[in-house]
Amino acid sequence: MRHLPAMIRLLAIGLGAAVLLGALAVPALAEDPDISSRRTEQRLTFSDAEIRDGFFKIALDAELQFGTRAHRIRKFDEPVRIFVDGKVSPERAAALDAIVGDIRAHIDHLDIAVTDHRKAANFVVTLVAAHQLLPTIRARFGIERARQIEHSLNPQCLSGIAKDGAYRIRRAEVILPVDASEFAFYDCAYEEMLQALGAINDDPSVPWTMFNDDVVMGFFDVYDQYLLNILYDPRIRPGMTRKEVENLLSAILPTARELVGRNNPRDQASTSAQTHTN
């Protein structure tokens, strides 16, 4: 059992959010020491087999899924526009703006950005006080599903996706508590944002991924960059089965290695997604 709260992945559900305020820019300050130490200590080199294993476990299943389970690829195939409800905490909204920029810089072929326009958004991040998390879940997903969510995982962060019949993600939602610690907020935000992009399963057998409740990161680590760059390679399409993906991975892995290597010089650690929050 990880020290931070368990997360939840939801599929094929109605998602709604009252979104009020976009991100507010603030100057970037020093990275949280706990995040810096984990960034320094992260493993950087992985075999093809280790990357393949993690990809299939994380991208083809779901931690909690309503309805029939489907072991298929789920991803956005259109620009991702994120609206942040920052009324509770403009500082956390600014942090999310920087996190989105960091994700964009590390995943090729993903058009992702924050928007100030609710109607343009297909991805909503709602910031709430911790004591409002469960009431917000009940309001978003209904009493019955909220009861299942609370009973299964007792979540303190949440991500959900709605897919169409072709397994294309059409809407995503993330709910985050603003009054978590600095480290906990970043750890929740990165994991939930990335899971809402399609890396939706948690698996305790993959020791290098943030999508493991025993692993805490607080940043976009190298191993998970491999997984997301494979997922958003144009050759990987929504609805693909494991066999279809296996037929392509030998060609895709060299591309993913080139991208991740280019974005992660070994003598530098990016702190571009860190902003000061109260």
What is the CA angle 216-219-225, rounded to 5?
A: 100
Residue 62 or 102, more confident: 102
Q: If you average pLDDT over residues 251-257, what whole number do you get?
A: 97
Of 229, 234, 246, which is closest to residue 53 (Cα–Cα)?
246
Rounded to two decimals, what is the model's pTM?
0.82
User: Sheet holding 112-114: strands in order across?
Assistant: 112-114, 80-85, 123-128, 169-177, 158-163
What backbone torsions phi and psi does residue 74 show, to the nearest 5 degrees? -125, 130
Pairing of strands 123-128, 169-177: parallel
Report pLDDT digits (tens) over 154-173: 567 788 899 999 999 999 99
DSSP structure class, residue 24: -
At 263, give phi and psi (nearest 5°). -85, -5
Say if residues 259 and 137 touch (Cβ distance below 8 Å). Answer: no
Rank 199-203, 216-220, 225-229 by mean pLDDT and report only the highest. 225-229
Secondary element (H or E) of residue 103 = helix 90-106
